[in-house]
Amino acid sequence: MSQRTSADSSPLTLFVCTGNFYRSRHAEALFNWHASRMGHPARAFSRGLLTSLVADEPTLISRDTERRLHELGIPLDLTGPAPTQLRREDLERAHRTIALKKDEHHAMMLQSHPEWADRIEYWTVHDIDFAHPDDALPQIEAKVLELIQGLRS
């Protein structure tokens, strides 16, 4: 699902979740790791729809995400340095945008970016209140690997 019409040397995938603290940052780092290892120019970045929810967190990334990326040998510098609020410009520069959970994020998109709410993809990866990280993070890993495999064709 392409969202850009102008040419760009490296296709950008945007991962969106609520706080840009846990799921979207994991997807971003994974995507960048795999794309880089296969020599593909595609890159990912991530944003949150309501980053104020994580403003008081003592860390800039979920400890669960940090732990899992460490287990996989993926450096933290493959994700942004801190939670970042989604802006229209982010949606405009992305070639593909994926929100991590439709039931959670579609309504938020309708509120903040209604013109984009039905133009992006949605996955079904539950946040920590509905799924343990040991279940949710591998689910993200499988979905990102599917995306990466699609780049090869």
Domain spans of the chain, in order of start: 12-152
Tell me the residue ranges of DSSP E strands in 20-110: 43-48, 96-99
Please tell me the distance from the alpha carbon of residue 74 to that of residue 15, in angstroms, as a whole number: 17
| Contacting residues for 79 by C-beta, under 8 A, at least 6 apart | 25, 26, 28, 29, 32, 46, 61, 69
SS3 62: coil
Q: In the prediction, which pLDDT does 143 show? A: 96
Question: What pTM was estimated for this model as a whole?
Answer: 0.91
Which residue, among 98, 101, 110, 99, has the nearest Cα to 128 in the 3D structure? 101
- pLDDT recorded at residue 86: 98
What is the distance between the alpha carbons of residues 78 and 68, in angstroms, rounded to a whole number?
A: 13
Widest Cα–Cα separation across the chain: 43
Q: CATH number of the domain at 12-152, out of 1.10.1510.10, 2.40.10.340, 3.40.50.2300, 3.30.70.2080?
A: 3.40.50.2300
pLDDT tens digits along 46-77:
999 999 888 888 889 999 999 999 999 999 99
For the chain, which residues score pLDDT lower than 50? 1-8
